[in-house]
């Protein structure tokens, strides 16, 4: 069995996911049916999960080198990701569109996502996100 080699580091994964989340949130204003809105929310939840996994990997590497303080500071800086993901997952499972909108508003105000909203020019394909969401989160 061969090794799996990652071509992107944690920073690149987080930046790409933030840009896509920003694009998805800006496109959420133009969604006109509930299924598409749930699909979009599922995409954002999966992206937040990807960011959370990269945070875990990054902090684990620092903790191996005994950079405990740096890992704790990094976790604290990105703590909003886990909170937003948990709220969004709960809202999607309940199909609570109002709560999803509230989470989108909170994300829209986040400085890191605001930077991403400006940088993505292409559209993003969200189709199939709800199915991937159900496979991942049940």
Per residue in 57-107, pLDDT tens?
999 999 999 999 999 999 999 999 999 999 999 999 999 999 999 999 999
Provide the b/e sequence for 48-85 (b: ≥16 CB within 10 Å): bbbbbebbeebbeebeeeeeeeebeebbeebeebbebb
Distance CA 17, CA 30 (A): 21
Cα separation, 117 vs 66, whole angstroms: 35
Tokens 């997952």 correspond to 89
**pLDDT, tens only, 112-131:** 877 766 665 667 788 899 99
- Give the model's pLDDT for residue 114: 75
**Virtual CA dihedral for 46, 17, 114, 93, nearest 10 degrees?**
0
Quick one: pLDDT band at residue 34, thresholds 50, 70, 90?
very high
First to last CA, the chain: 30
């Amino acid at each position: 069995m061969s090794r799996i080699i990652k071509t992107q580091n944690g920073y690149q994964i987080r930046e790409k996911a933030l840009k896509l989340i920003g694009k998805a949130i800006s496109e959420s204003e133009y969604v006109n049916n509930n299924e598409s809105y749930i699909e979009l929310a599922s995409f954002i939840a999966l992206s937040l999960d990807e960011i959370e996994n990269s945070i875990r990997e990054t902090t684990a590497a620092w903790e191996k080198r005994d950079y405990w303080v740096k890992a704790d500071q990094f976790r604290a800086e990105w703590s909003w990701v886990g909170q937003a993901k948990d709220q969004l997952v709960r809202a999607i499972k309940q199909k609570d569109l109002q709560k999803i909108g509230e989470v989108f508003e909170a994300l829209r105000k986040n400085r890191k996502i605001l930077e991403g909203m400006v940088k993505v020019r292409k559209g993003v394909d969200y189709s199939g996100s709800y199915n991937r969401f159900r496979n991942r989160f049940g």
